[in-house]
Chain A
Amino acid sequence: MSEPDFLDHRAIARLSKLMLHVRNPMLGNINGQHRSATRGASVEFAEYRKYAPGDDIKHLDWRVFGRTDKFFIREFEADTNLRCYLVVDTSASMKFSSNPATGSRFDYARRLAGTIAHLLVHQGDAVGLTCFAEKAVDLPPRRTPSHLRQLQRRLADIQPAGESQIVQTLHDFAERIRQRALVIIISDLFTDVPPLLDALKHLHFYKHDVAVFHLLDPQEFSFDFTRPTRFVDLETGADLITDPAIIRDPYLAALQSYLADLQHGCRQFQVDYHFTQINQPFDAVLTQFMLQRLRIAKKGGR
């Protein structure tokens, strides 16, 4: 299967030199690259792969040999302590783009998510995908290449649509996923701040390591319109005709207030908040993200 075209392999190659760390110790009993908080024997079968010389033969599946005369090794889940959930906003608001040449907000989110997923899987971590919108997508975290391909495929196929339900999704997620995980939220977060912070607090309560990539289009941030404009809501279709010259100042004030509240709340609940304008090179954004995580991990020490 061909690689999805939203991935930049040169950027991936550069980013591969870094490792994505977590802040909190992960739960799991498989030796991995990440610190584990528990020891145990619970493993889950994940999939078969062809035997390669050097593999531990205790995991050789003899039944499959008996049937097929071929050697296959059994792969198990939770070989790593890092489970990462990519929570990607696929609502209609993610379709926004002020510059068709650079792509929409969702294109950026997809690239971000896809790159993170690739890095995680290739560093031996599991990554899952949850999308919140009209059509929900829920892939549990796996670390296999086939899972990665499936994840990329789902990212490639998704078309943003419907209204955002991020708050409910995060609350559901927090209740459903009890094992500590790295939750990376990629969204425009166009919702009321207090409920959103409640959801983040919910995740924090279950000791998840939460990182938020808050994606905004430069035009949403600067609001540099100069003529009367009819704004059409991408999610609801409602429109508003107004003169930007009149409302620009109050718009920017509202935006700044929102961002300040959001930032304060994220700090409060130990959420890594990354304000990202989608005209910024995503590899620079990810590099900064990973380096920051590396610094945090070194502080934590192992």
Chain B
Amino acid sequence: MLWALPAVLLPVVIHLLNRLRYKTVPWAAMPFLRKANRAATRRAKIRQYLILASRMLAILFLIWALSRPLTGGWLGAAASGAPETILILLDRSASMEAHPQASPESKRSHALSLLTQAASQNPGSHFALIENVLRQPLELPSASSLSSLQFTAPTDTAADLPAMLRSALDYLVKNKPGNAEIWIASDLQTSNWRPDSPEWQDIVDRFTGLPQQIKFRVLDLSSTSTQNLSVAVQSADLRLRPTKNRQGQLHLALEVKTPADRQGILPILITRDGTKTQVDLTLSSTTQRQSLQFDLPKLESGWGKVELPADDSLTDHSAYFAYAPPPTLHTVIVGDSLAAQRLLFAAAPDKTRPDRTAILLPPNRAESIAWANTSLIIWTASTPTAPVEKSLKSWVESGGVLLCFPPSDSSTQGPLGLAWSKIEASTQDTPFRVGTWDDLDGPLAHTESGPPLPLPKLEIPRRQIPTTDSSHSVATFSDGPPFLLTRKLGTGLLAAFATLPDPQWSNLADGFVLLPAVQRLISLGGQRLSPPNLAVAGEWQPPDPLESWTALSESSPHDWRWNAGVYQSGSQRLALNRPAIEDLPEKLDPTSLPTLFHDLNLTVMTNALNIKADSLQSEIWTAMILVTMLFMCAEMALATSKAVTSPATPTPPPTTRASS
């Protein structure tokens, strides 16, 4: 409707045309006319200008009223006119399903209401939607259908606003609209916006370099929620119970986040294969890890759901898990020393367990390793031959775990670029000891029941420090050098201890550290032998695009691309859960958005959660009409203040009678 703005000039045009269309009149009483023209009071001219201005302003506000402008931060749209293209960037991540202040609609639903109403004010604009999952522009035939689209439905995924803006940028570069606006609806979660990312500068520079000016409008749907509960499944492993009947035991590792002021007992409901079990968690911190075990009658695959009591957010108080019988995990120990013998025990302590096997291979038979079925290779020999080195590298990069110990022959070179220092011996009375280690994650993490591994008990009279590029020290000696380091290679891992499980070297063979560390590394290496049963919604892709995955967990249609749940394809089951970053409560301060967008044209509608969709334009429309009528009354008052249209006849002078 703003195309009608030039109509504001109509009174001026009519006025000028009237002046041009003057009537030519031969006139005799010019002296009076000239005198009057000189004496035409400033007030009269000002009155004429005021009449003209009143007419123009009446038309202007009428056009504004008819264009149905929006209030709040979007008011600028009223003055600028409808853009040719509007890109709607919709954050429909898991956090957008929160119901702030017990509202009946989620942030996402409210955003859609506001966006639909705002879009209806731009009927001539072309709309496209970019949502956070696919991040591909979707042409919209009509903005009114926004709420009913599949691609605006809730998800259990995270959002990546910089990536969405890049998609928008690519769309604008490809389609070259005349002028465009980008509407962003988001709860300003920091983990989604990543304001510290250096990407922003590049994004801003590219938008600045566009030939057309782009306007950004952010719908701030952030809210502070202090009573949010969230639960995440860290792992779900089905293990063989040491019983005769090959029964299983499900090990669930959970991470529960609670508000700081929440104390006492938190009930956790676990549904597994139709069976509900409640576990009471005693709250001791805002983030707690809980390990649960469930005895299962059979070693069979299954799935389940963990739930917390409901709160503002309906998406982060539940999580799914799936489990499958563990594959046989085979370990190969390469070496022929006493330490190798002890390592054989650490790899397969229970010979009766068919899911844990280990063999000892002399170094000269390393070529015969069954690479495909091996989950862990423990190398206690010197440098492997070139073919073995090559096979080792390929195997590790494909997901295998290579654990190295100092070679018995005191050589200084190990496999895959690993180097050993000279053997160091401590003094008799003060063996080397482990000073620090990572007890949260990795092979030296604390036990499932909670207590840490007793690394301080290790006495290490002799050591040979491993070094390699890009390594990470999982544990260090008290004097600094690494005790255990790891290095990622492809999808696999290279690990190296600085001592041997040999009485002359250390008491590592006692097993209280070695056994759990080796078992964990076996499990890690075994992951490549079994497909994952836990993944992140929105990030996971089927290995085979032709595979069909159907939801097991919900009766309503679920889409593995963006909904959490348990899905099955053939015999394989997978639990998809929302990303962990969606549970992070940090929000971006709306006042920092202009800094983030630098010099780009940005309008932020703050507190959008408190704005009702149907009040977006009605109030300002009414006000515009009132102002229009005001100016029309002013014009009428000015125009009729002196009878211009019906001039009064002056009184003729009486005839004089000259006195005698």
B45 at interface (Cβ–Cβ under 8 A)? yes
- Which of chain A's residues have a CB closer than 8 A to the CB of B650? 221-222, 252, 255-256
Contact, CB under 8 Å: B41 / A250: yes
Q: What count of chain B residues pass the 8 Å CB interface test?
A: 40
- Which of chain A's residues have a CB closer than 8 A to the CB of B456? none
A95 at interface (Cβ–Cβ under 8 A)? yes
A33 at interface (Cβ–Cβ under 8 A)? no
A296 at interface (Cβ–Cβ under 8 A)? yes
The complex places the Cα of A224 from the Cα of B647 at a distance, in Å, of: 6
Contact, CB under 8 Å: B30 / A229: no
Interface stretch (choices B17-25, B363-371, B445-453, B513-521): B17-25
Contact, CB under 8 Å: B22 / A233: no
CB distance from B301 to the nearest CB of A (A): 94
- Which of chain A's residues have a CB closer than 8 A to the CB of B26? 95-96, 231-232, 234
Interface stretch (choices A3-11, A136-144, A237-245): A237-245
Contact, CB under 8 Å: B19 / A249: no
A23 at interface (Cβ–Cβ under 8 A)? yes
Contact A228 to B655, CB < 8 A, known contacts A234-B28, A245-B48, A246-B40: no
Contact A221 to B652, CB < 8 A, known contacts A243-B19, A246-B45: yes
CB distance from B648 to the nearest CB of A (A): 9
- Which of chain B's residues have a CB closer than 8 A to the CB of A221? 649-650, 652
Nearest residue (CB) in B for A259 is B653
Interface stretch (choices A58-66, A117-125, A268-276): A268-276
* Known A246-B45, A247-B37, A271-B658; further 18 A-B contacts with Cβ < 8 A: A220-B28, A221-B650, A222-B650, A223-B647, A233-B27, A243-B19, A245-B644, A247-B40, A248-B647, A250-B37, A251-B32, A251-B36, A254-B39, A255-B650, A263-B654, A270-B658, A271-B656, A274-B655
Nearest residue (CB) in B for A242 is B37
Nearest residue (CB) in B for A295 is B657
CB distance from B38 to the nearest CB of A (A): 8
List residues 2-38 of chain B with CB under 8 A from any CB of chain A.
18-19, 21-37
Contact, CB under 8 Å: B23 / A229: yes
- Which of chain A's residues have a CB closer than 8 A to the CB of B102? none
CB distance from A205 to the nearest CB of B (A): 14
CB distance from B505 to the nearest CB of A (A): 112
Nearest residue (CB) in A for B17 is A228
Contact, CB under 8 Å: B22 / A227: yes
The complex places the Cα of A230 from the Cα of B22 at a distance, in Å, of: 6
The complex places the Cα of A267 from the Cα of B655 at a distance, in Å, of: 10
The complex places the Cα of A242 from the Cα of B18 at a distance, in Å, of: 11
- 1/0 contact string of A89-103 vs chain B (CB within 8 Å): 000111110000000
Contact, CB under 8 Å: B649 / A222: yes
Which residues of A are at the interface with B, using a C-beta cutoff of 8 A? Answer: 23, 92-96, 105, 188, 190-192, 216-217, 220-236, 238-243, 245-256, 258-260, 262-263, 266-267, 269-275, 277, 288, 292, 296, 299-300
CB distance from A5 to the nearest CB of B (A): 24
What are 21 A-B contacts defined by CB distance under 8 Å?
Answer: A92-B28, A188-B28, A190-B28, A190-B29, A221-B649, A228-B18, A228-B22, A229-B24, A232-B27, A243-B48, A247-B36, A248-B36, A250-B36, A250-B41, A254-B35, A255-B29, A267-B659, A272-B657, A273-B656, A275-B652, A275-B655
- Which of chain A's residues have a CB closer than 8 A to the CB of B642? 249
**The 9 nearest A-B residue pairs measured at CB:** A93-B28, A251-B36, A270-B658, A250-B36, A273-B656, A96-B28, A231-B27, A247-B36, A250-B39
Contact A251 to B33, CB < 8 A, known contacts A96-B27, A246-B40, A270-B659: yes
B44 at interface (Cβ–Cβ under 8 A)? yes
Contact, CB under 8 Å: B647 / A231: no
The complex places the Cα of A250 from the Cα of B41 at a distance, in Å, of: 8
- Which of chain B's residues have a CB closer than 8 A to the CB of A192? 31
* Most A-side CB within 10 Å, residue of B19, B35, B45, B658: B658
Nearest residue (CB) in A for B20 is A228
Contact, CB under 8 Å: B32 / A231: no
List residues 431-467 of chain B with CB under 8 A from any CB of chain A.
none
Nearest residue (CB) in A for B644 is A245
- 1/0 contact string of B628-652 vs chain A (CB within 8 Å): 0000000000000010110101101
B555 at interface (Cβ–Cβ under 8 A)? no
B571 at interface (Cβ–Cβ under 8 A)? no
The complex places the Cα of A277 from the Cα of B658 at a distance, in Å, of: 21
The complex places the Cα of A34 from the Cα of B22 at a distance, in Å, of: 55
- Which of chain B's residues have a CB closer than 8 A to the CB of A247? 33, 36-37, 39-40, 44
- 1/0 contact string of B124-142 vs chain A (CB within 8 Å): 0000000000000000000
Contact A229 to B656, CB < 8 A, known contacts A222-B647, A245-B644, A254-B39: no
Nearest residue (CB) in A for B44 is A246
The complex places the Cα of A230 from the Cα of B26 at a distance, in Å, of: 8
- Which of chain A's residues have a CB closer than 8 A to the CB of B653? 259-260, 262-263, 273, 275
The complex places the Cα of A242 from the Cα of B41 at a distance, in Å, of: 13
- Which of chain B's residues have a CB closer than 8 A to the CB of A255? 29, 32, 650
The complex places the Cα of A267 from the Cα of B642 at a distance, in Å, of: 34
- Which of chain A's residues have a CB closer than 8 A to the CB of B659? 267, 270
The complex places the Cα of A288 from the Cα of B27 at a distance, in Å, of: 29
Nearest residue (CB) in B for A264 is B656
CB distance from B452 to the nearest CB of A (A): 97
The complex places the Cα of A253 from the Cα of B41 at a distance, in Å, of: 12
- Which of chain B's residues have a CB closer than 8 A to the CB of A267? 656, 658-659
Contact, CB under 8 Å: A288 / B25: no
- Which of chain B's residues have a CB closer than 8 A to the CB of A263? 653-654, 656
- Which of chain A's residues have a CB closer than 8 A to the CB of B649? 221-222
- Which of chain B's residues have a CB closer than 8 A to the CB of A246? 40, 44-45, 48
Contact A240 to B32, CB < 8 A, known contacts A230-B22, A250-B40: no
CB distance from A197 to the nearest CB of B (A): 13
Contact, CB under 8 Å: B660 / A300: yes
Contact, CB under 8 Å: A266 / B656: yes
- Which of chain A's residues have a CB closer than 8 A to the CB of B33? 231, 240, 242, 247, 251
CB distance from B27 to the nearest CB of A (A): 4
The complex places the Cα of A180 from the Cα of B27 at a distance, in Å, of: 36
- Which of chain A's residues have a CB closer than 8 A to the CB of B658? 23, 266-267, 269-272
- Which of chain A's residues have a CB closer than 8 A to the CB of B24? 229-230, 232, 239
- Which of chain B's residues have a CB closer than 8 A to the CB of A238? 30
- Which of chain B's residues have a CB closer than 8 A to the CB of A272? 655-658
CB distance from A22 to the nearest CB of B (A): 12
The complex places the Cα of A133 from the Cα of B467 at a distance, in Å, of: 125
Q: In the complex, which of the residues B19, B32, B656 contacts A254, with contact meaning CB atoms closer than 8 Å? A: B32
The complex places the Cα of A247 from the Cα of B36 at a distance, in Å, of: 6
The complex places the Cα of A257 from the Cα of B642 at a distance, in Å, of: 20
* Most A-side CB within 10 Å, residue of B35, B645, B649: B35
Contact, CB under 8 Å: A234 / B27: yes
List residues 517-536 of chain B with CB under 8 A from any CB of chain A.
none
The complex places the Cα of A263 from the Cα of B656 at a distance, in Å, of: 7
- Which of chain B's residues have a CB closer than 8 A to the CB of A190? 28-31
- Which of chain B's residues have a CB closer than 8 A to the CB of A231? 25-27, 30, 33
CB distance from B615 to the nearest CB of A (A): 45
The complex places the Cα of A299 from the Cα of B659 at a distance, in Å, of: 11
- Which of chain A's residues have a CB closer than 8 A to the CB of B35? 250-251, 254
- Which of chain A's residues have a CB closer than 8 A to the CB of B41? 250
Nearest residue (CB) in A for B645 is A226
* Most A-side CB within 10 Å, residue of B30, B34, B654, B660: B30
- Which of chain A's residues have a CB closer than 8 A to the CB of B40? 242, 246-247, 250
Contact A241 to B19, CB < 8 A, known contacts A230-B25, A251-B36, A255-B650: yes
Contact, CB under 8 Å: B660 / A23: yes
The complex places the Cα of A217 from the Cα of B35 at a distance, in Å, of: 19
CB distance from A3 to the nearest CB of B (A): 29
Q: In the complex, which of the residues B25, B45, B48, B652 contacts A229, with contact meaning CB atoms closer than 8 Å? A: B25
CB distance from A283 to the nearest CB of B (A): 16
Q: In the complex, which of the residues B44, B645, B660 contacts A249, with contact meaning CB atoms closer than 8 Å? A: B44
* Most B-side CB within 10 Å, residue of A236, A288, A296: A296
The complex places the Cα of A300 from the Cα of B657 at a distance, in Å, of: 14
